[in-house]
Amino acid sequence: MAKILKGDEFKKRLNLQDRIESDLPSSFGGATEVGGVIDREVLDASGRARQIIEEAKGDAARIKAEAKEVLAQVQAEMERSKKEGYDLGYQEGLQQGLEMLQRVKELRQKLFDDNEREMVKLVFEIAEKIIGREFRENDKAIMNVIRLAISDAVGDKIVVHLNPQDFE
């Protein structure tokens, strides 16, 4: 059933139609439909825009959560790699230190072995100067005493003090 429009009401509708047509974006391409069809399209577009915005917000939140998770994984991997590198460096340094210590022990033993006869000879000469006679009766006992004294003096400086008058 058709509705009868009176003059003022008709003018209002006509004026409204003109305003809608002038406010329409160019995408509607000069549509001449009036009132409800355009309003419904605008509402549908507005609803779709809200839906797209909500989906975008949801996607953004999901992407942020994934980024935080990836960042946490990267940080954990960095910490693990850092610790692994530190441990590896520590072990290498420790191994090198132990090798150097072993080498020093070997050099010390070689020095002792190379100079053992000289030390025994020096002890005999010192004893001869002090006692005034040859002291060769039991050189193995003296050698054991010297070895014991040197092994007890590991790391210490060995200094032999002589009176200059006794040392000739």
Across residues 121-125, what is the average pLDDT? 80
Domain assignment present for 100: yes
Alpha helix (H) ranges present in the chain? 7-23, 36-131, 139-152
Domain assignment present for 6: no
7-41 per-position pLDDT tens digit: 666 566 666 656 665 555 554 444 445 556 677 88
Domain assignment present for 105: yes
| Whole-structure pTM value | 0.38
Q: What does the pLDDT read at residue 92?
A: 94
Domain assignment present for 115: yes
Domain assignment present for 111: yes
Total domains in the chain come to 1
Q: Distance between CA 123 and CA 142 in Å, rounded?
A: 8
Domain assignment present for 7: no
Domain assignment present for 161: no
78-107 per-position pLDDT tens digit: 999 999 999 999 999 999 999 999 999 999
Q: What does the pLDDT read at residue 59?
A: 92
Structural domain including 48 reads 12-152
Domain assignment present for 4: no
Q: What does the pLDDT read at residue 32?
A: 47
